[in-house]
Chains A and B, each alone.
Chain A
Amino acid sequence: MAASPIHQFEIIKLLPIGKIGGIDLHFTNSALFMVIAVALTALLLLGTTTSRQMVPGRLQSIAELSYEFVANTLRSTAGEEGMKFFPLVFSLFMFILISNMVGLVPYAFTVTSHIIITASLALLVFVTVLVYGFWKNGLRFFRLFVPSGIPIYILPLIVFIEVLSFLSRPISHSVRLFANMLAGHITLKVFAGFVTMLGGLGILGWVGAVLPLALTIALTALEFLVAFLQAYVFTILTCIYINDALHPGH
């Protein structure tokens, strides 16, 4: 295994599928872990609920808890109307959460550590909000950029800032998740690298390796928290944006 902390983010071609219009369609490690994330979500959501027990078992409880967690988040943010986006929000939450969690398994690939993935998901939300916002509210959707109760002479500035912040949403939305996963995994790898490096120096190195080892363990725990938190942050931001599409007036 290469010691480079960047190596874990390499896209590795596993199976050649073919080319469509000059686009390389290799089945890569990234694709593999997307499939794993989808398979795990499907297993969690469908495999555990086939018996539809009135009193849930442990696994069915997990499915129900995740359902209610996302449903409550969406309902409290975007109201009952927002529930029509529940499948989208739930899919996003589970896809990101499981990708993040699976990525913490040693040797696993973290799908969400690639900006193209997080940007696609953020743009999916952005376009959904934009299209639904205009479809439902028509031109009243522009009220989103005009907060009420603002003196007329600073209104142009406020509208400019609002539009800018609206347009930069997909950037912050995607970079936050991407950067967190990337930085966390690099940090983990660097400290784990210290352990192997010092471990190769004999007894004294072993003593010295204790501190980075402890840090690696602590960071792993922290990264599990971050993995959940970032999935949650992405989800709740999605809910807030959906709420804007539903109720553009401030």
Chain B
Amino acid sequence: MAETTSAHTQAPGGPPPKEFPPFQRETFASQLIWLALTFGILYVLVARIGLPRVGGILQARGARIAGDIADAERLRDQSQAALAAYEKALAEARNRAHAVAGEARARADAQAEATRKTLEDKLNARLAEAERSIAATKTAAMSNVRGIAIEAAGAIVTRLIGDAPGEKAAAAAVDDALRQTHGS
């Protein structure tokens, strides 16, 4: 070890025992001066460089965090606005689609109805025509039947009595018979 002021405090026969080291007054001056020097340097370093630098770091970080949080909040607001706009647009589109679909359905129904009606009209017309044609055919047939019946009645009477009835009498008799059958 280095030279000591009192290496053997209890050494018998040595120099008189020294005072307790913290109370040795002759060391005070040197300790005070070195304390003033070192603590002074420490204070200057701390006050001029150390604390401003660490404080600056902490402040910058605080500002950065606050800025980031503000950014995040702004972006969140934006995304929420975008979401709201999207939902609104979606709802509008859905409504419009409903409207378009309803319109299309109505138009299709109207068209189908019109088609059905024209078809029905056409069918009715053809039905009426057919009925008319049937009636005409029937009338024609009936008049043919009358002629045949008159001839037949004339022929039958001729065979039965050997004398041909007058054309008019036969026609009257057939008409009478036809009336009776139609009347019943």
Task: State the A residues within 8 Å of B (CB).
Answer: 2, 4, 6-7, 9-14, 23-31, 34-35, 37-38, 41-42, 45-46, 49, 52-54, 56, 60, 63-64, 67-68, 86-88, 90-91, 94-95, 113-117, 120-121, 178, 182
Selected contact of B5 from candidates A13, A54, A91, A178, CB within 8 Å: A13
A95/B51 in contact, CB under 8 A:
no
Selected contact of B58 from candidates A27, A64, A178, CB within 8 Å: A64
Contacts of B30 in A (CB 8 A): 11, 23-26, 28, 30-31
Among all A-B residue pairs, the 9 with the closest Cβ atoms: A87-B47, A45-B50, A31-B34, A9-B21, A34-B38, A11-B27, A23-B29, A67-B54, A38-B42
Selected contact of A4 from candidates B9, B24, B49, B54, CB within 8 Å: B9
The chain A residue with its CB closest to the CB of B54 is A67
A28/B31 in contact, CB under 8 A:
yes
Query: Could you list 28 A-B pairs, sorted by A, with CB under 8 Å?
Result: A4-B10, A6-B9, A6-B20, A7-B7, A9-B21, A12-B4, A13-B2, A23-B30, A24-B26, A26-B30, A28-B34, A30-B30, A34-B34, A38-B41, A45-B49, A45-B50, A46-B45, A52-B56, A63-B50, A63-B54, A67-B51, A67-B58, A86-B51, A87-B51, A91-B42, A114-B22, A114-B31, A121-B35
A46/B50 in contact, CB under 8 A:
yes
A67/B29 in contact, CB under 8 A:
no
A12/B39 in contact, CB under 8 A:
no
Contacts of B55 in A (CB 8 A): 67
The chain B residue with its CB closest to the CB of A115 is B22
A44 to B145, CA, bound (A): 138
A25 to B51, CA, bound (A): 31
Asked if B46 is at the interface of the complex by the 8 Å CB criterion, the answer is yes
Mostly, the A contact residues are: helix
| Shortest distance from the beta carbon of A184 to any chain B beta carbon, whole Å | 14
The chain B residue with its CB closest to the CB of A20 is B33
A45/B31 in contact, CB under 8 A:
no
A49/B53 in contact, CB under 8 A:
yes
A12 with B10, Cβ < 8 A, contacts A24-B26, A38-B41 known: no
A75 to B57, CA, bound (A): 19
A11/B60 in contact, CB under 8 A:
no
Asked if B105 is at the interface of the complex by the 8 Å CB criterion, the answer is no
